[in-house]
Amino acid sequence: MKTIKPLLSVLVLVGAVGVGTAQAETQGIISKVELGRSGYCHLTFPAIRGRTLGAAHPVLKDAASGDIIDFYGPCDHDPLGKEEIWAQRLDHKRRMMLNRE
């Protein structure tokens, strides 16, 4: 019985850390630095895959691709939120227009 309690404690701790890590990965945020107590942050996260920008469920690129967004703004910014999708769509269209010329 003495051996089971510490083992159970370790399993609960590992499970809690694993859930926190999974939530951070789900958000897609590579780094998040709060700028004082202003509620503003410096976030870095992968860009949205171009093929999924118009989809109901857009997908972020792999962080290893090097296509990283450097964002300064509210700490609760969602890398897959409406505002980010709109901004990246606009950027994608602008790049397409430049490539045509």
- The angle at the Cα of 31, spanning 54 to 66, to the nearest 5 degrees, equals 55
Residue 26's pLDDT is: 43
For residue 34, count other CB atoms closer than 10 A to its CB.
12
Please tell me which residue, 21 or 83, carries the higher pLDDT value.
Answer: 83
Is the pTM here over 0.75, yes or no? no
For residue 33, count other CB atoms closer than 10 A to its CB.
11
Residue 20's pLDDT is: 40
DSSP letter for 36, please: T
The pLDDT of residue 32 is above 50 = yes
The pLDDT of residue 55 is above 50 = yes
Phi, psi of 7, deg, nearest 5 = -65, -45
Q: How many CA within 13 A on the CB side of residue 7?
A: 4
What percentage of the chain carries pLDDT values higher than 90? 61
Q: What's the mean pLDDT in 11-39?
A: 64
